[in-house]
Chains A and B, each alone.
Chain A
Amino acid sequence: MLAMHIVSEALYQPSTFAERGVLVPFTAPSLTGTRVRRARQGGMELLVPNPSGGRGVYIIGPEGIMQLCRPSIHDLVLNERIGKLPMLTPGRVRMTAAQVAAEGFAGRAAIGAAQAAIQAQALTESDAFYELMLALLAASGLSAAKQESLAAMSKAAMREQAPALLGRIAGAIGRSPDVVVAVLLDMAETFASFGVSQTASGTVQRCLQALGRLLTQAADWPRRLRANASRIGAAAMLTITQTEHAIAKSRAAMADPVVLLRSWCEKPEQTAEQIGLPDWLLDGWEQVCLLMQSASNESLLAARLEEIVLLLPAWPRTMRERFNLEADANPGSANARGQTEENSAMGGTNVMDLTLRNEALRLSSLELAGAADG
């Protein structure tokens, strides 16, 4: 029997980003907008937008996906892999999806782009790891000469010698060097999405630029689309300012890297969510931007706006309270895809056509990740 809860819009009010869940780039249209989060009873659960197009979400275990809808084989493989992740973050889900695509499950066209995206992510993580190491070692009271010789080390050498180099710091916080290296790798993964230093950039900055372009384009949208446009624009604007603020705050936490390391060792998930807030804030927005960019004419734009309004990421309660957002003003509160004009117009073949469209969006996303960071 399918274990499923149907949660009404009034009850689906996540308190935190982790509770909101991470967007999963499924390709089946019935799963568009689906998020995954840790279940209270352990394991994962999927939050699937109401398949009827109404408000509220269906909460199901990963094994219930086949019974609720008709996922693609890509979705089934991705669902299985996500179920094995030890920790859920937007970055991890993104990389897991890239790996599934690299194996060919999102189509042959996406394989190369996915491989490039994985490679680019590995490079930015390596950069972030290197910068974190230098910052930690500098904070550990090394002499200027020693710091200089460390700075001349290659990234590979730094990674290889990390356990030895971090021995003193590990001792100071009561952890083994191997544990500290593992934690540092997690930190690097989190920082990689926006960079440790002011000059670095990653997925987050790319998405911010796309959101900026979206706002510029919104000014030119036809009058009849203004209502949806202003709703999307307001949500995008708040997301941009909050993300920029969050990047600054996360980078500021590196003022005392040892304290940050200790905190990460003690409360890994909580600290990762705090530092990775920029990525959590933007989770789901890339899909919105790509959907917009793929609207080639006005009628398609109208259909896409209708779809996007229902896909806008919901603000967690803490954010809503902080910014005095009304329940109705919460962009993602509907959190479901209506039977949009575009879907309906395709008649009986819309599932196949929309899956194809979603695969094209996946390809665009992977190409951006591979090109921008690589």
Chain B
Amino acid sequence: MIASPFSKRPASNPANGEIRDTQRQLSDARDDQIARVVAVVDAMADRSGADHLIASLRPRLRRIRPRRPLAFGRLLFLPLTPLILPGAQWRRGTLAVPRTAFTPLIRQLREALGAEAGAIDAQIAGHGFDETAIIEQLGQRLWSAAARIFASAPVPSYWRDESGLNEADYLALVRPIAHLLACAATVEALARGSLAGALAPEEALRALLLAAAKAGGQTLGMSVVVLLANLPRAQRLLPLAADIAASATDPVVKTAVERAMDFTFDSLDRMVTTITGQEDGIQAATEEITRAVETLSRLEERVGPHRTDRRVRIDDLRRRLDGTCRGCFDAMLVERVLLPLQSLPADAGDAEVAGLEAAARDLRRFEQASRQAGSGELYDRQLRQAGRLLQTPALQNSAMTLADRARLMELLLGPEEALALLRQA
């Protein structure tokens, strides 16, 4: 196994020990506390030290999704999201981009852009990551400028010190990054269309893949990873990429799609372990489950009959995804719906009842996404059991009015059952 260039770095700075202590404390912090810490880090003018602090929190941040302000660096590397790995997990020769490369690359770009960087900063100020129109408008400007600069920029003098990587790594990373940024606005538009239910046009996919293959095997592999993550419903993506790779003479291009598939398998492996049904992570969890299910389907369609190892891996991932979803659903049902329902105080007010409804909605959102991974009947059975609780005499005497129970029944089982509850009463 190739070691990460970061794995044996000595703790040369005494502050590293403090950072590790703080990281340990943060690992026990609640989601809202984490969100506050991240807001403080995001507001720092120079966050290079603090970035280490939150590095270990990134899996949780993906789930919590605190409202984060748009920042120059974050907007710049947004199109690379599916490829980004913490420095310690990065291996030379893979398709990943180590996060440790960002600080010197941002610095280099800022130096090259001069006043333009300041203008972008000014336009970004005050906007958040949830503002798609701003991301679309400023992203296009920043990505195309960065693509132009990174396509021919020399290795900056501070690269090794700031990234911990060597000069060869710079070239291996930055040229494909330049290509991906040049295509970012197109991919972003296709991804938006996909979210709205449109299928990516085959011609657009072919053009993107051909351009990537022309730039080299590493670029093609990285492009396939990015496209698959953004367009998991595009059934023609992998076959097109495979055709293009097969017709190439360069052995790196030939194997690029296989490498992209392996990379995606590894990403799914990591993703499965981060799914939770916690209150403020439902949206992220449902999106990731849906994306994982669709991506697995695309991978399965592409795996030949002789690749039993990959078939086994797909089955294993599906089983694990299903198991994780079931576990999260069970926990949500019990902890957020059934227990609060059964222990509802007689003087429970609007907030408690609204909280139960919100929990039931979250549960259904999670269930709708989870049943794509399997176990549909199990979810139906458990929801029916929960619905029966709403009919029990004990609950009829609680703070829940008939309308409250009917609404909750509707959320759990649908309007027919809610109407039946009203008729019964």
Contact = CB atoms under 8 A, between A and B. Distances in A.
Contact of A299 (B132, B195, B368, B418): B132
A345 interface: yes
B133 A73 contact: no
Contacts of B419: 73, 76
Contacts, number: 65
A66 B407 contact: no
Interface stretch (B67-75, B214-222, B349-357): B349-357
A344 B196 contact: yes
A299 B415 contact: no
Interface in B369-425: 369, 401, 403-404, 406-407, 409-411, 414-416, 418-419, 422
B56 interface: no
Nearest to B404: A104
Contacts of B407: 73-74, 104-105, 107
A77 B423 CA distance: 11
A66 to B, nearest CB: 7
Interface stretch (A15-23, A41-49, A163-171, A347-355): A347-355
Given A70-B415, A344-B196, A297 B368 contact: no
Contact of B415 (A76, A107, A341): A76
Name the interface size band of chain A: 20 to 34
A174 B286 CA distance: 69
B278 interface: no
Contacts of A297: 131, 133
Contact of A349 (B133, B286, B354, B357): B286
B415 A108 contact: no
A75 B419 CA distance: 11
Contacts of A299: 132-133
B357 A348 contact: no
Interface string A93-126: 0000000000111011101000000000000000
A72 interface: yes
Chain B CB within 10 Å — which of A70, A73, A104, A107 has the most? A73
A298 B286 contact: no
B406 A71 contact: no
Contacts of B369: 348
B410 A72 contact: yes
B290 interface: yes
A104 B365 contact: no
B415 A73 contact: yes
Interface string B89-121: 000000000000000000000000000000000
A66 B417 CA distance: 12
Given A66-B416, A108-B354, A341 B133 contact: no
B52 interface: no
A295 to B, nearest CB: 13
B350 A109 contact: yes
Contact of A341 (B196, B406, B411): B196
B361 interface: yes
B197 interface: yes
Say what secondary structure dominates the interface of chain B: helix
B415 A72 contact: yes
A356 B365 CA distance: 13
A345 B283 CA distance: 13
Contact of B365 (A66, A77, A298, A349): A349
Contacts of A109: 350, 354
Nearest to B136: A299
Nearest to A77: B422
Contacts of A364: none
Chain B CB within 10 Å — which of A105, A298, A344 has the most? A105
A347 B195 contact: yes
Nearest to A340: B196
A339 interface: yes
B350 A108 contact: yes
A159 B365 CA distance: 53
B83 to A, nearest CB: 24
Contacts of A356: 361
Contacts of B131: 297
Interface string A68-86: 0011111111000000000
Given A73-B419, A109-B354, A104 B414 contact: no
A317 B197 CA distance: 37
B197 A339 contact: yes
A155 B3 CA distance: 89
Nearest to B410: A73
Given A74-B407, A344-B196, A348-B290, 14 more contacts: A73-B410, A75-B415, A76-B415, A76-B418, A76-B419, A77-B422, A104-B401, A105-B403, A107-B357, A107-B407, A347-B195, A349-B286, A349-B364, A352-B411
6 contacts: A73-B407, A103-B403, A107-B357, A299-B132, A344-B197, A345-B196
Interface of A: 66, 70-77, 103-105, 107-109, 111, 297-299, 339, 341, 344-345, 347-349, 352, 356
Q: List 6 A-B pairs, minimum CB-CB distance, nearest first.
A: A104-B403, A108-B350, A73-B418, A344-B196, A73-B410, A73-B406
Interface of B: 131-133, 195-197, 286, 290, 350, 353-354, 357, 361, 364-365, 368-369, 401, 403-404, 406-407, 409-411, 414-416, 418-419, 422
